[in-house]
């Protein structure tokens, strides 16, 4: 069946279409129907089913006779190790961990925060929670203690599972001191913390609170899978919004299982038993969906890669891993390819490896620029598929569904909407615009299974942030257009979210940190174009009247504050000091105009500007630090 037929079949009867897809899941009690719209515009899928995620991701493959199949390959160039775990081993390890958590009081509905680097134990912790019906919230290791504390206070976990350390090229990330720091800042305290001691750094445990990963499992009874309702939250994943307070995206269990299973064959084109590799991090949605859950649900082998595209040890690492493990389908962010391209522009290192197993490369997380796509197409000789999604949606809104039909690629477009998504481009008044016209991208409600039903503890924020601007639609926060053939083009964000090396960051959150500096009167953080990371944050600071300190010193302090408060992943390293911020007469900071100045793009001086002369000062300040870049 072609893509057009598949999409049309979904559109003709979405509920029947989704009910058909439930056949891929082992249910304790199958759903009686697909959509539960009683609380519209809050929708739920398969709410009255009973099911367990861990059973579907692990145990059922063992029961089906595939216990010897490799479930997880840990590829860790930073520790020079490779480790393989079979499905049978994974089941035993997860059942034991879940048993130990249960023995310490973790039951269905309890929250558990997971703060771990790219090691198989991170996946095992997620699966152990799923086994018990506990709700995990994984926090990315590149966040600093205050960000971890904010998530602890919002999720109120009964337990935290962490590793002693992570390894970044050239430095050890001290997870345990970061965790201790977060627990000093947080108002909520967990009952206990489980610490996995890595040999690179053994952490000091706090007696009475911390237990060691191995010893706390000693002698426990392994836990069986606990069936949960279809609308039971599987996890909470925090993501950046426009303010400093992150949004807790909730994922319901049954829709997550059904949607992810569907994508493995139909979008990524892989069969059970094949090796699937998403080079992301479990702290991001790509890691949740395509390092942990989807490949395991589908019976694939997943690669947990603890390294970087370059420098661990070189720009050929990705190709080595693909050769060594016979990877069939590979998923990464465009920024990773740009990093490789910068070191190996002719892709000479590709020739050192046998990439015959690879059938496709998938890109997401940020706009895939045509140069990078062309480079990858030439280097690898396989389809390079851009696809577009968000933490909120959990899987692709638009893609080129390789497993259904390889549609013609239009470079610069993530192709076409996937079944489940009625994507519309709207004007300010909420009316669909003609093809080729730029507008806000929205998805007609209900969103499909697997997407967010609400925000954790914040249904009103969910409604306000996503549903109120265009009634009847989910507002994606992205702007773009649809061409005459129905292909989508994602051009920009409509809010203050920026995308740095495929990581989603809030300029508002950085502004909150900088504004708290005693010498800063006002500030704005904008995202400026960067050839490697896509965007980089740039601060524009105004100092308090009478402040006679060295501005360079204040900039250094602000950079340190953002690193200590948000984390190194914010990559906030540059700022300028100016007398005033450009504003409209009503006081709105002209961020978009500043972005255009920094990027060297044409712009019109806004008619509503308070004082146009400020723009010259801004341009001079930017030029002094090399913007626009040559
Ligand atoms: N734990 C602790 N610190 C982390 C971290 C982690 N898990 N991940 C990143 N950091 C730190 C880095 O060490 C760096 O710190 P530094 O300022 O001391 O150098 C900082 O956060 C910024 O990291 P990053 O954005 O990764 O930049 P980089 O310069 O180290 O590497 C790339 C550049 C392009 C190679 C890298 O960004 C990359 O591989 N990107 C792919 C991103 C990706 O897969 N995203 C997932 C979306 S699908
Ligand atoms: P995250 O929630 O971190 O996955 O970030 C989601 C955002 O990243 C989207 O709203 C887009 O702004 C951007 N994004 C993700 N994938 C793509 C893509 N393929 N093309 C353009 N932008 C993308």
Among 248, 376, 386, 499, the mutation site with the greatest number of ligand 2 atoms within 8 A of its Cβ is 499
Q: How far is the CA of 441 from the centre of ligand 2 (A)?
A: 12
- Give the residue from 226, 251, 278 where a domain finishes: 226
The verdict on residue 255 lying in a domain is: no
For the segment 512-542, what is each residue's pLDDT rounded down to a tens digit?
999 999 999 999 999 999 999 999 999 999 9
pTM of the model: 0.96
Phi, psi values for residue 424, rounded to 5°: -130, 145
Q: How far apart are CA 630 and CA 621, in angstroms?
A: 16
Give the nearest ligand 2 atom to 392 CA.
2
- Give the residue from 189, 211, 226 where a domain finishes: 226
Residue pointed to by tokens 């050239």: 170
Confidence check: pLDDT of 244 > 80? no
Please name the residue whose Cα sits nearest to atom 22 of ligand 1. Answer: 569
Phi, psi values for residue 399, rounded to 5°: -160, 175
Q: How far apart are CA 94 and CA 136, in angstroms?
A: 14
Confidence check: pLDDT of 317 > 90? yes
Give the domain CATH number at 559: 3.30.300.30
Residue 297 has what pLDDT?
A: 98
Residue 376 has what pLDDT?
A: 98
Give the total residue count for the chain: 630
End-to-end CA separation in angstroms for the chain: 49
For the segment 245-301, what is each residue's pLDDT rounded down to a tens digit?
889 999 999 999 999 999 999 999 999 999 999 999 999 999 999 999 999 999 999
Q: How far apart are CA 488 and CA 544, in angstroms?
A: 46
- Residue 254, H or E segment: helix 253-266
The verdict on residue 195 lying in a domain is: yes
The verdict on residue 458 lying in a domain is: no
Residues 134-150: what's their mean pLDDT? 96
Q: What is the phi-psi region of residue 450: left when phi exceeds 0, alpha when psi lies from -120 to 50, beta otherwise?
A: left
The angle formed by the CA atoms of residues 35, 40 and 43, to the nearest 5 degrees, is 40
Count the alpha carbons within 13 Å of 457 in the hemisphere toward its beta carbon.
Answer: 13
Give the domain CATH number at 152: 3.40.50.980
Residue pointed to by tokens 């203690």: 145
Count the alpha carbons within 13 Å of 328 in the hemisphere toward its beta carbon.
Answer: 17
Residue 136 has what pLDDT?
A: 98
Among 335, 478, 500, the mutation site with the greatest number of ligand 2 atoms within 8 A of its Cβ is 478
Among 289, 364, 502, 507, the mutation site with the greatest number of ligand 2 atoms within 8 A of its Cβ is 364
Band (167; pLDDT cuts 50, 70, 90): very high
Q: Is the CB of 173 under 6 A from ligand 1?
A: yes
The verdict on residue 294 lying in a domain is: no
Residues 365-394: what's their mean pLDDT? 96
Q: How far apart are CA 339 and CA 568, in angstroms?
A: 18
The angle formed by the CA atoms of residues 157, 161 and 162, to the nearest 5 degrees, is 130
Give the nearest ligand 2 atom to 503 CA.
3
Confidence check: pLDDT of 243 > 90? no
Mean pLDDT for all residues in the chain: 97
Quote the domain boundaries for residue 616: 497-624
Band (241; pLDDT cuts 50, 70, 90): confident
Residue 89 has what pLDDT?
A: 98
Distances (CA, A) of 254 to 26, 257, 439: 11, 5, 33
Residue pointed to by tokens 């669909």: 432
The verdict on residue 205 lying in a domain is: yes
Q: How far apart are CA 495 and CA 239, in angstroms?
A: 14
> Any residues with Cβ below 6 Å from ligand 2, and which?
239, 285, 364-368, 386-391, 414, 476-478, 490, 493, 499, 504
CA of 241, nearest ligand number: 2
Residues 81-92: what's their mean pLDDT? 98
The answer to whether the bond into 446 is cis (omega within 30° of 0) is yes
Give the nearest ligand 2 atom to 398 CA.
19
- Give the residue from 226, 251, 283 where a domain finishes: 226
Residues 68-83: what's their mean pLDDT? 98
Band (586; pLDDT cuts 50, 70, 90): confident
Residue pointed to by tokens 């706390």: 216
Q: How far is the CA of 340 from the centre of ligand 1 (A)?
A: 14
Confidence check: pLDDT of 354 > 80? yes
**Quick check: 511 and 522 in contact, CB under 8 A?**
no
The answer to whether the bond into 41 is cis (omega within 30° of 0) is yes
**Quick check: 67 and 43 in contact, CB under 8 A?**
no
Confidence check: pLDDT of 607 > 90? no
**E-assigned strand segments in 25-178:** 35-36, 44-45, 50-51, 70-76, 81-86, 111-115, 135-138, 159-163, 166-168, 171-173
The verdict on residue 508 lying in a domain is: yes
Q: How far apart are CA 78 and CA 119, in angstroms?
A: 11
Phi, psi values for residue 609, rounded to 5°: -65, 145
The verdict on residue 124 lying in a domain is: yes
Angle between helices 551-565 and 145-155 (to 10 degrees): 40
**Quick check: 449 and 45 in contact, CB under 8 A?**
yes
For the segment 467-489, what is each residue's pLDDT rounded down to a tens digit?
999 999 999 999 999 999 999 99
Confidence check: pLDDT of 59 > 90? yes
Q: How many independent structural domains does the chain possess? A: 2
């Amino acid at each position: 069946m072609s893509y057009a037929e598949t999409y049309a079949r979904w559109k003709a009867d979405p509920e029947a279409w989704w009910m058909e897809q439930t056949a891929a899941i082992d249910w304790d009690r199958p759903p009686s129907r697909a959509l539960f719209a009683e609380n519209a515009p809050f929708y739920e899928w398969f709410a009255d089913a009973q099911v367990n995620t861990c059973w579907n991701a692990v145990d059922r493959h063992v029961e089906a006779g595939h216990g010897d199949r490799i479930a997880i390959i840990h590829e860790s160039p930073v520790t020079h190790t490779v480790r393989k775990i079979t499905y049978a081993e994974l089941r035993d390890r997860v059942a034991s961990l879940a048993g130990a958590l249960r023995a310490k009081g973790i039951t269905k509905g309890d929250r558990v925060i997971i703060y771990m680097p790219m090691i198989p134990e991170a996946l095992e912790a997620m699966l152990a929670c799923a086994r018990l019906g506990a709700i995990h919230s994984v926090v990315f290791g590149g966040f600093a203690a205050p960000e971890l504390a904010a998530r602890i206070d919002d999720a109120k976990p009964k337990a935290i599972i962490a590793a002693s350390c992570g390894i970044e090229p050239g430095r050890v990330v001290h997870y345990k001191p970061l965790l201790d720091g977060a627990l000093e800042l947080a108002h909520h305290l967990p009952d206990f913390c489980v610490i996995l001691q890595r040999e690179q750094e053994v952490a000091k445990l706090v007696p009475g609170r911390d237990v060691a990963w191995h010893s706390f499992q000693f002698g426990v009874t392994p836990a069986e899978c606990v069936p949960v309702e279809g609308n039971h939250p599987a996890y909470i994943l925090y993501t950046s919004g426009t303010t400093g307070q992150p949004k807790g995206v909730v994922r319901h269990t049954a829709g997550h299982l059904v949607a992810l299973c569907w994508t493995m064959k139909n979008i990524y084109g892989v069969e059970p038993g094949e090796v699937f590799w998403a080079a992301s991090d479990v702290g991001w949605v790509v890691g949740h969906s395509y390092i942990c859950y989807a490949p395991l649900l589908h019976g694939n082998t997943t690669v947990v890669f603890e390294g970087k595209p370059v420098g661990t040890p070189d720009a050929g690492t990705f190709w080595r891993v693909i050769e060594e493990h016979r990877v069939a389908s590979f998923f990464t962010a465009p920024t990773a390819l740009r990093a490789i391209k910068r070191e190996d522009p002719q892709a000479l290192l590709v020739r050192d490896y046998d990439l015959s197993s690879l059938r496709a490369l998938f890109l997401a997380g940020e706009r895939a620029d045509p140069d990078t796509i062309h480079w990858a197409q030439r280097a690898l000789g396989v389809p390079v598929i851009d696809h577009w999604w968000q933490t909120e949606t959990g899987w692709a809104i638009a893609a080129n569904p390789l497993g259904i039909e390889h549609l013609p690629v239009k470079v610069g477009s993530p192709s076409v909407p996937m079944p489940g998504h009625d994507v519309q481009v709207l004007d300010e008044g909420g009316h669909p615009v003609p093809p080729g016209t730029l507008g806000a991208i929205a998805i007609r409600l209900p969103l499909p299974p697997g997407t967010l039903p609400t925000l954790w503890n914040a249904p009103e924020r969910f409604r306000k942030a996503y549903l109120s601007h265009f009634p009847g639609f989910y507002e994606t926060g992205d702007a773009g257009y649809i061409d005459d053939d129905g292909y989508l083009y994602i051009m920009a964000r409509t809010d203050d979210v920026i995308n740095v090396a495929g990581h989603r960051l809030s300029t508002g959150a950085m502004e909150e940190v900088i504004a708290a500096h005693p010498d800063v009167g006002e500030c704005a953080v904008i995202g400026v174009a960067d050839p490697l990371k896509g965007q980089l944050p740039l601060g524009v600071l105004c100092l308090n009247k009478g402040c006679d300190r060295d501005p360079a010193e204040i900039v250094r302090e602000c950079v340190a504050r953002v690193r200590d408060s948000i984390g190194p992943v914010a990559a906030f390293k540059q700022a300028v000091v100016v007398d005033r911020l450009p504003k409209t007469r009503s006081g709105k900071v002209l961020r978009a105009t500043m972005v255009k100045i920094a990027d060297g793009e044409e712009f019109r001086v806004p008619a509503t500007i308070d004082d146009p002369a400020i723009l010259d000062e801004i341009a001079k300040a930017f030029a002094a630090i090399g913007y626009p870049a040559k």
